[in-house]
Amino acid sequence: MSYPVLICDDSALARKQMARSLPASLNADITFAVHGLDALEQLANNTFKLMFLDLTMPELDGFGTLEEIGKRGIDVPVVVVSGDIQPKAKERVMALGAKAFIQKPINKDALNAVLKELVEPASRPQIVTPVAIDLPILRRRDIYMEVANVSIGRAADALARHFDVFVHLPLPNVNIFEVSELHMALRDLAENDQVSGVCQGFSGEGIAGEALVLLSDSSVCDLKRLMKVPADSEELEELELLMDVSNILVGSFLNGLGEQSEVRFFQSSPVLLGQHISIDSIIQSTTGSFKKTMTFEVSYNIDGTDIRCDLLFMFVDESLPLLDNKLSYLMEDF
What are the start-end ranges of the E strands in 124-219?
A: 167-168, 173-178, 195-204, 207-216
Angle of helix 36-45 versus helix 62-71 axis, rounded to 10: 30
**Chain-wide mean pLDDT for the chain?**
88
Predicted model pTM = 0.90
Give the mean pLDDT of 168-177: 90
pLDDT value for 334: 42
Percent of the chain whose pLDDT exceeds 90: 64
| CATH 3.40.1550.10 in the chain, residue ranges | 140-332
DSSP state for residue 300 in the 8-state scheme: E
Q: How far apart are the first and last CA of the chain?
A: 24
Return d(Cα 231, Cα 174) in angstroms, integer: 39
Determine the length of the chain.
334
| CATH node for 140-332 | 3.40.1550.10
Convert 36-56 to b/e letters by CB count within 10 Å (16 or more is b).
Answer: bbbbbebbeeeebbbbbbbbb
Return d(Cα 99, Cα 96) in angstroms, integer: 9
pLDDT value for 76: 97
Planar angle of CA 211, 216, 222, nearest 5 degrees: 115
| CATH 3.40.50.2300 in the chain, residue ranges | 3-118
**Residues 100-156: tens digit of each pLDDT:** 999 999 999 999 999 999 997 655 555 555 556 677 778 888 999 999 999 999 999
ω into 105 cis (within 30 of 0): yes
pLDDT value for 110: 96
**Residues 70-110: tens digit of each pLDDT:** 999 999 999 999 999 999 999 999 999 999 999 999 999 99
Give the mean pLDDT of 29-56: 97
Name the fold adopted by 3-118. Answer: Rossmann fold (3.40.50)
